[in-house]
Amino acid sequence: MIMRRSLSLKSITMMILMAVLVWSVTLETCIARRGRHWRHNHRSSSDLSDSLSTKKPKSHSHSHHSSHNNNHHHKSKPKPKPKQKTPPKANSPVVSRPPKVQPPPKSNDDNSPVVSRPPKVQSPPLPPLKGSQVFNVMDFGAKGDGKCDDTKAFEAAWAGACKIEASTMIVPSEYTFLVGPISFSGPYCQANIVFQLDGTIIAPTDAKTWGKGLMWWIDFTKLKGIKVQGKGVIDGRGSGWWQQDYPFIDGETKLIVPLYNSTHQHPPMPIRSELDGRMPSIKPTALRFYGSFGVEVSGITIQNSPQCHLKFDNCVGVSVHDMVVSSPGDSPNTDGIHLQNTKDVLIHSATLACGDDCISIQTGCSNVYVHNVNCGPGHGISIGSLGKEGTKACVSNITVRDVAMHNTMTGVRIKTWQGGVGSVKGILFSNIQLNEVQLPIVIDQFYCDHSKCKNQTSAVAVEGVTYERIKGTYTVKPVHFACSDNSPCVDVQLSSIELKPVQERYHMYDPFCWQTFGELNTPTLPPIDCLQIGKPPRNKVHESDHDVC
């Protein structure tokens, strides 16, 4: 009995010991697990930041579980994460991100004046802001008061515009800019630059600025696609030069004989209003284009130039339209538009008033088309003078049509010097309306603007000239054809010529022809009986290798 109780006690003791052992192992395991989890959730904020910046959590569920445990064990610190300045690499709920993303836009909004800065950046001379295309002379220091010299400001604005294709240089309206001799030149400028002239540019009137004299005042050289446009004015203030050249003698003045002695007096001298010291004998052209391709001039007014108003020299592809030239009829040598060695020209919708030829077409010109032009006062539209001092002259394919002339010295004219060589070919004058023009139709191969010129046998040949629908009134002589003995004018065609005399203050004369051959395609008024029908006998037209153009 005692043995059984002893065995039962031992069995119970063993069971208790085994239970204690199992419980102790289980307790240790739980404590160990709890310890590891505690340590994980009680790392420092710096350790957490390092962990987030270097390791990505394995899944969204783990991230959510970690957040849950964190909230469960640390209710006293419910929001530690928003205070952490960590990059948005952690896969925390997306909802918590916008507050962190919003500040940069607010920062940009605070710096919104950056948007208005580009115009301010364009103001300094160079380098211009990349992509800017507008260069206003006022932003480069121009005063525009008509007194301060704005030449440097214009040069600086051009230097900026020159570097950018299709840029625009602006001369703004409501300002007057005093600008000395200036050249807007290439050939390293970009193409298609626009010179937007809406204000007024005036020339200096002091002799010191011009030195010994210059051939031009405003010059555009070696450019492609250059445009000068706007509603502005270029004022050459040329009366100082006009004084010194007075009186001016055109070669055709010898044909105009006054009726009364009183009319022998020269017309009143140009007003001496803007002269400051004696001006140089070399007079500048107001606006010149040289060696350029694709030139356009439109809208502007050029007035009171010391000499020629607008000149094109060695240019190809010229368009002039909707512009005005304005100078007194007695201003000497002030041609309106002067073409020299220039091809492919279109001139239309222009009003030209000056003291010399409204349009002057010189040697080296071809493919010139002029239409819808008002001319007067002035000396008409002229080809020449050509061949001066034995030079070679070549002019071809010229059309002048739909032109109105009033109170001009000549209408349509070809003028060459004795001794010259070359040729004038393919000329059409059509639909010319005349009002009190002294000499409407002229070919003069004995042109001379001196008191006396030497007689010479050679001449620039004139061939293939057509006059049609030329109507209006004249005051001296309707037709004057004076051609060379050695090189007569040939193939001169006349049709629909109606010219009526208006007696004014000059002697009037009948049509005159010398060595001029061609055809009368219709009756003319007055009859031009002096024209020799056909071709010259023995074909007097002399053509050598030197004469061929």
Select which of 68, 72, 266, 379 is catalytic: 379
| Residue bearing tokens 């240019």 | 315
What are the DSSP calls for 290-315, one per residue? ES-EEEEEES-EEES-SS-SEEEES-
Which residues does 492 contact at the CB level (< 8 Å), separation at least 6?
443, 465, 466, 467, 481, 516, 517, 518, 519, 531
Residue 323 domain flag: no
Structure confidence at residue 173 (pLDDT): 98
Q: In degrees rounded to 5, what are phi and psi of residue 271?
A: -65, 130
90 with 63: CB under 8 angstroms?
Answer: yes
297 with 310: CB under 8 angstroms?
Answer: yes
Nearest to 143 by CA among 134, 154, 132, 133: 154
Nearest to 416 by CA among 327, 316, 488, 347: 488
Structure confidence at residue 381 (pLDDT): 98
Structure confidence at residue 488 (pLDDT): 96
DSSP-assigned letter for residue 106: H
The two structure tokens encoding residue 299: 């809208």
176 with 202: CB under 8 angstroms?
Answer: yes
Nearest to 404 by CA among 450, 456, 443, 351: 351
73 with 41: CB under 8 angstroms?
Answer: yes
How many structural domains is the chain composed of?
1
Query: Does 74 qualify as catalytic in the annotation?
Result: no
Which residues does 296 contact at the CB level (< 8 Å), separation at least 6?
226, 227, 228, 229, 318, 319, 320
Distance separating alpha carbons of residues 460 and 487, to the nearest angstrom: 8
Sign of torsion over alpha carbons 521, 495, 319, 311: positive
Residue 373 domain flag: yes
Nearest to 373 by CA among 409, 341, 399, 342: 399
- Cβ atoms < 10 Å from Cβ of 280: 17
- Cβ atoms < 10 Å from Cβ of 168: 17
Distance separating alpha carbons of residues 305 and 213, to the nearest angstrom: 14
Residues of the chain under the 70 pLDDT cut:
1-11, 13, 17, 19-132, 246-248, 261-277, 538-547
Beta strand extents in 17-95 (DSSP E only): none
Distance separating alpha carbons of residues 228 and 220, to the nearest angstrom: 10
The two structure tokens encoding residue 523: 């009756």
**Alpha helices (H) in 213-310, listed in sequence order:** 239-245
Residue 463 domain flag: yes
Nearest to 390 by CA among 457, 340, 313: 457
Burial class (CB in 10 A: 0-12, 13-18, 19+), 406: middle
Nearest to 309 by CA among 402, 157, 203, 400: 203
Residue 488 domain flag: yes
* Secondary structure of residue 118 in the 3-state scheme: helix
* Secondary structure of residue 481 in the 3-state scheme: strand
Residue 388 domain flag: yes
CATH number at residue 427: 2.160.20.10
Distance separating alpha carbons of residues 122 and 319, to the nearest angstrom: 31
| Residue bearing tokens 């190809």 | 316
Burial class (CB in 10 A: 0-12, 13-18, 19+), 358: buried
| Buried-state track 153-166, b at ≥16 Cβ within 10 A, e below 16 | bbbbbbbbbbbbee
Distance separating alpha carbons of residues 467 and 478, to the nearest angstrom: 13
DSSP-assigned letter for residue 121: H
- Structural domain including 483 reads 359-539
Residue 72 domain flag: no
Distance separating alpha carbons of residues 421 and 165, to the nearest angstrom: 43
Strand-pair partners of 295: 318
Helix or strand (DSSP H, E) at 39: helix 2-41
Residue 533 domain flag: yes
The two structure tokens encoding residue 502: 């208006």
Residue 12 domain flag: no
